[in-house]
Structure 1
Amino acid sequence: MHTSPGTDCHCPTAHTVLAERSDSATVVRHGATVAKAHAPGTDPVHLQLRLTAAAGLPDTLLAPLRPAPVPLHGRLVTFWPYGTPVDPDTPEAAPWEAAAALLARLHRAPAPPGLPSMRGPAKAARAIRRLSAAGPHPAAEPVLRAWAALPAWARAEAPAPSARTLCHGDLHFGQLVRHPAETGPWLLIDVDDLGVGDPAWDLARPAAWYACGLLPTDEWSRFLSVYRGEGGPAVPSAGDPWTALDVPARALTVQTAALAVAKSAAARRPLDEVEQAVVDACARMGTTPPGLTQGCAT
C-alpha cells in the first residue's frame, strides 16, 4: 500500500498517514476516504464477517464503503468514510455518554452467525509477549505476576464462559468518530477485534482507569449510568458492577502496564507517572485474587 503523499494519484488531494506500524495496521486518508491496510496475516474470512457485521449496524458502527476487503501488496485493505475523531487535547469534552450508549446498543444487537471471538484477550496476551521480548526490566515482575493470576479465558487460553454477546473488543476514545465529519453522530470504528465474547471487556478500560485512580469518579459514573440506562447487559442494572468488571479490568490494567514497560525498555527511559500508576496497580492486584470487587486496583 502506498503511503507517501501524492503517490500514484493525479488529483490535487494529498494522502495523510493517520497510523502506521509494520506489525499492525496502516491507515491512510485521502480526502473523504480512509484506506486501512490490515495487519499481515489477517484472516480474510474473519475480516469479511466483521465487515458484514459493521455494515449491518450503521447506527452503531461506521459502515465500510466496500463490502469486502481488497488484497494489495500482500495485505488486506478496507475502505471507510472519513469521520472526525475525538480531540485528545480537550479531555473535558470526551464523549463518555455517547461511548456508553453505543456500547449498550452494540451489546444488545444479535451477533451475526459465524462471527469469531472478540479479540480483546488475544490483544492482552500479545502485550505480554511484547513485554517478555523487551528484555529484563524492574517493573516487569509485578505485571507478569498479575497476568498469571488471571483466569485462562482472560489470557486468551480458553473461551470466555458462556458469553456470546457482540463486542467491540478494543474500546477507547480513538475508536469513536463523528460521521458525517463534524456534524454527524458518534460511531464506533475499527472492526479488527469485533466478535462475540464477554461484553464487560468493552467497559474494562475505563473501569481500569477508574480503579487505578486515573479517571475521575464523575466521568466513570456518567459512563456507567448511561450504559445501564440504555440496557447494556455487561453489568447488573443496579448494585455492584464489579462482580462483572473485576477480571476484565484487571486484564486491561495488565495489558496497559505491559505495553508501558515494553515501551519504557525500548526507549531506555524511566516510566512516567501514568505508566507507574498502572504498574503499581498490578503490584496491588497480586495481593487480592480475582473475583473481588473494586479492590482489584485501588
Structure 2
Amino acid sequence: MPPTSPRAPSRAGASSSADPELLARLAEIGTAAHGGPGTGAEVLYDRHGVLVVRVGDVVVKAHQADREGGPPLARRMRVADGLPELLLPSLGPPLEVAGRTVTVWPYGDPVSPGDLPWEDGARLLADLHNVPLPEDVPPWGRPTRAARLVAELEDGPAAREIRRAFATLPGWIRGEGRTEDAPAGEARRTLVHGDWHLGQMVRAGGGWRLIDIEDLGAGDPAWDLARPAALYSSGVLNPDDWSRFLGAYRAFQGPAVPAGGDPWEVLDLPARTLVIQIAATCVKSARQADRPLDGPEQALVDTCSRISSAGSSART
C-alpha cells in the first residue's frame, strides 16, 4: 500500500515468511542477473501472495499465483519497455519458477514517506494517459477487484457497512456484468497504469519511473486517480496534497478530468469503488492480525457508511 494509505509497509528490510525454496530460487535469479555472487538477498516485500527480493541492483518478483501471466503479461512488459521515460523497463521476459510467474527488474529507490512526490506522480500519469494507445494492449479490468475483497470479508459491523456501500455500485463493478458493459465514461480509453499510488514509483534512470505493470492496459484514465481521490474523500489524504496532485495533473494536461470545473463528475464512481476496496482490505488485514482498526482505517469504514446512506457519493 502507498505511503498515503493506512498501514503502509516499508519496502526495505521487510520480514518474510515466504517459502524458503521460492526465496532461494529468486535469490539465485537475482544473483545471476546481478552478475555474480557477493551481494546477499534482501526481502523487500512479502504480502498478499507477492514476494519481491533484491540482490544488489536487481529486483526479482514472484507474482500472485492467481494473477494473469503468460502472453498478456509479456505484452504489458513490452509496452512498458517501449516507454522507458515513464515505466521502469524489465531485465528480460517473464519466467516460470515453481509454478509462479517471476519477473526481473533494475532496482529503484522508493518514495520516502517524508517527501511525497505528488507533482512527479501527476506528471507521469498525465504523460502515460497521453501516449498513443499501443496496438493489442490488453484491456484493464481491475474495477471488479472490489467484489472479490468484499466477498472475502468475515461478518462483523465494519464488514456490514462495507457491504451496504458495495451494494450502491453498478453491476459491472459488483461482478454482475462484463467490464465492457460500463457506461460511456469507460469509453475514454487511454493507456492506464491500473493500480497507481505513490508506492508504484521508484527513482531510477535519472528520474521517477512507474513500476508494477500487471494491470497496464487500455482503460478509463480516471481510475488511475481513484486511490488518492478515495483517500482524500475519506479524510485520510491531506487536502493540500490532493490539491497538489490534482492541480499538477491538470497542469500537465492529463485527460482523466476536465481542465476546469468539478473533477468529481468523473472521479466519484472510481473514488467510491476504491474507498470500499481499501476499507475491505484494511478490515481483512486487521482481522488477520487480531487488532482493532486504526484511525485512518476506521475513517474509510465511516466513509462507506456515508456512501450507503447517500446511495452514491463518496465526497465529504
Q: Is this a same-fold pair by TM over 0.5?
A: yes
Is 1:79 aligned with 2:110? no
Paired amino acid for 2:267: L
The alpha carbon displacement at 1:5 in A equals 10
1:90-123: CA deviations, max 9, x gaps? 1xx1000000000001111122222222243133
1:267-298: CA deviations, max 9, x gaps? 232211111100000000112233x5xxx241
Alpha-carbon distance in 2 for matches of 1:191, 1:288: 35
Is 1:136 aligned with 2:158? no
Residue 138 (structure 2) aligns with: 116
1:194-246: CA deviations, max 9, x gaps? 11111111101111111111122211111111101111111001000000000
The alpha carbon displacement at 1:4 in A equals 4.6
Alpha-carbon distance in 2 for matches of 1:49, 1:270: 42
Residue 154 (structure 1) aligns with: 173
Alpha-carbon distance in 2 for matches of 1:85, 1:25: 17
Q: TM-score, normalised to structure 2's length?
A: 0.84
The alpha carbon displacement at 1:7 in A equals 5.8
Is 1:204 aligned with 2:223? no
The alpha carbon displacement at 1:130 in A equals 2.7
Q: Quick one: structure 1 residues 289 and 136, their matched pair in 2 at CA, closer, same or farther if it must change by over 3 Å?
A: closer
Residue 47 (structure 1) aligns with: 73
Alpha-carbon distance in 2 for matches of 1:155, 1:173: 26
What does 1:207-218 align with in structure 2 at a 5 Å threshold?
207-218=229-240
Q: Quick one: structure 1 residues 148 and 24, their matched pair in 2 at CA, closer, same or farther if it must change by over 3 Å?
A: same
Is 1:29 aligned with 2:54? yes
Q: Quick one: structure 1 residues 284 and 6, their matched pair in 2 at CA, closer, same or farther if it must change by over 3 Å?
A: closer
2:128 aligned residue (77, 102, 106): 106
Alpha-carbon distance in 1 for matches of 2:309, 2:222: 23
Alpha-carbon distance in 1 for matches of 2:27, 2:103: 18
Q: TM-score, normalised to structure 1's length?
A: 0.89
Alpha-carbon distance in 2 for matches of 1:238, 1:252: 23
Alpha-carbon distance in 2 for matches of 1:81, 1:119: 27
8 Å contact from structure 2 (residues 69, 101) kept in 1: no
Paired amino acid for 1:30: V
2:39 aligned residue (13, 18, 22): 13
Unaligned runs of 5+ in 1: none
Unaligned runs of 5+ in 2: 1-20
Residue 233 (structure 1) aligns with: 255
Work out the number of aligned pairs and report it.
Answer: 283
The alpha carbon displacement at 1:71 in A equals 1.4
Alpha-carbon distance in 2 for matches of 1:146, 1:6: 40
SS at match of 1:35: strand
Q: Quick one: structure 1 residues 79 and 253, their matched pair in 2 at CA, closer, same or farther if it must change by over 3 Å?
A: same
2:302 aligned residue (275, 280, 288): 280
Residue 59 (structure 1) aligns with: 85
Alpha-carbon distance in 1 for matches of 2:148, 2:158: 18
Residue 3 (structure 1) aligns with: 23
8 Å contact from structure 1 (residues 82, 179) kept in 2: yes
Alpha-carbon distance in 1 for matches of 2:270, 2:308: 15
What's the C-alpha RMSD, in Å, of the aligned pairs? 1.9
Q: Quick one: structure 1 residues 297 and 271, their matched pair in 2 at CA, closer, same or farther if it must change by over 3 Å?
A: farther
Deviates more, 1:272-281 or 1:119-128: 119-128
SS at match of 1:170: coil
